[in-house]
Homo-oligomer: A and B are copies of this chain.
Amino acid sequence: MDKLRIGVIGAGRIGKIHVGNLKRLPQAEVIAISDLYADAELEKWAREREIPLVTNDSDAMIHHPDIDAVFICSSTDSHVPLIKSAARNGKHIFCEKPISMDIRQTEEALEEVRRAGVKLQVGFNRRFDHNFRRVREHVESGAIGDVHLIKITSRDPSPPPEAYIAVSGGIFMDMMIHDFDMARYLSGSEVVEVSAHGGVLIDPAFAKYDDVDTAIVTLRFANGALGVIDCSRQAAYGYDQRAEAFGSLGAAYADNDYANTVELSTSSGVQSDKPLYFFLERYNEAYILETQQFIDCVLSGTPVPVDGEDGLQAERIARAAKLSLQERRIVKLSELDVAGSIHAEREGR
């Protein structure tokens, strides 16, 4: 194969971003896009981008003989059936995070992927950020020695609408899942213990859905290191995504990105502009890179940089964090292995 023919499932914001990025890659060809609500407008949009097939039937894509890989960008509840179906039809898969909100279902999907021998990459785009990647390099090269602490700050510019909160899966599964993945990525170690603390400080709507809008999650890694993530649904100054790895020989810090770094000094002080507003601006290059690497890995037959196991582990940490918050106790990840279903029931899910 020297060119990957792709079908994109889900024409929402993130689906369209992936199409835009795929169009820039000479080794990728988007030949179809599906959306439950495919309409004339989407057809026009697709035509401008020279995408031949527009459909409201994702199945048609999964069975399309010319399609080598699918990008699953539809709602989370559709991920597992689509992954299973795509795998069974021999399509390689790029799936947005989380794979699902139920770790047993995620495991089943991964089992199907393994059986089919197709590739599955999960959309943890932040791993491809220039700064976080550089921190990881400093850990991998041994520049900071043995990792002792991982610190992550994760704040959105503004909370989602209530309708979204209701179906989001909660702050851990919806928002912090990225940070749980980042913690694993930066530390190079698995999380074994989680302790979550949270509050509703921004919007009372979160309380209605048994959710929080502000949280601190403490992690313990298999290698003995500790981690902490602080998270907020609303930062007045915009998207705040920083990370720090501290070890026996030093520390590496990743700051935010800024639209410009000009400093203005006047009689009232020194001022500069806010960080880039939100994930689309901040992770623009990271989205391109993750897509490119997926294409490269599939074409070259090498392992994808973020696989199903990465997706699963982040979900397990999110699951443990929710349990920790509800039961006000430290939760071991190993509890989920034996008693995932029991806990799920106890929660009344």
Contact = CB atoms under 8 A, between A and B. Distances in A.
Given A214-B148, A271-B271, A266 B248 contact: no
B261 A131 contact: yes
A131 B259 CA distance: 8
Nearest to A220: B197
A274 interface: yes
B230 A250 contact: no
Interface stretch (A59-67, A137-145, A299-307, A336-344): A137-145
A255 interface: yes
Contacts of A145: 236
Nearest to A137: B262
A117 interface: no
Interface string A38-52: 000000000010000
Interface string A203-231: 00000000000111010100011101010
A27 to B, nearest CB: 12
Interface centre among A24, A148, A232 (most CB of B within 10 A): A148
A123 to B, nearest CB: 22
Nearest to A138: B264
A195 B214 contact: no
Given A24-B24, A253-B262, A224 B201 contact: yes
A14 interface: no
A26 interface: yes
Interface string A268-291: 011111110000000000000000
A143 B269 CA distance: 12
A173 interface: no
Contacts of A275: 265
Contacts of A197: 195, 218, 220, 226, 330
A25 interface: no
B251 A264 contact: yes
Contacts of A48: 26
A328 interface: yes
A114 interface: no
A194 B44 CA distance: 56
A143 B264 CA distance: 8
A146 interface: yes
A288 B225 CA distance: 38
The 3 closest A-B pairs by CB, nearest first: A250-B266, A237-B265, A134-B262
Interface of A: 24, 26, 48, 130-131, 133-135, 138, 143-146, 148-149, 151, 153, 155, 195, 197-199, 201-202, 214-216, 218, 220, 224-226, 228, 230, 232, 234-237, 240, 246, 248-255, 257, 259-267, 269-275, 328-330
9 contacts: A138-B264, A143-B266, A148-B201, A235-B251, A240-B251, A250-B264, A270-B271, A270-B274, A328-B330
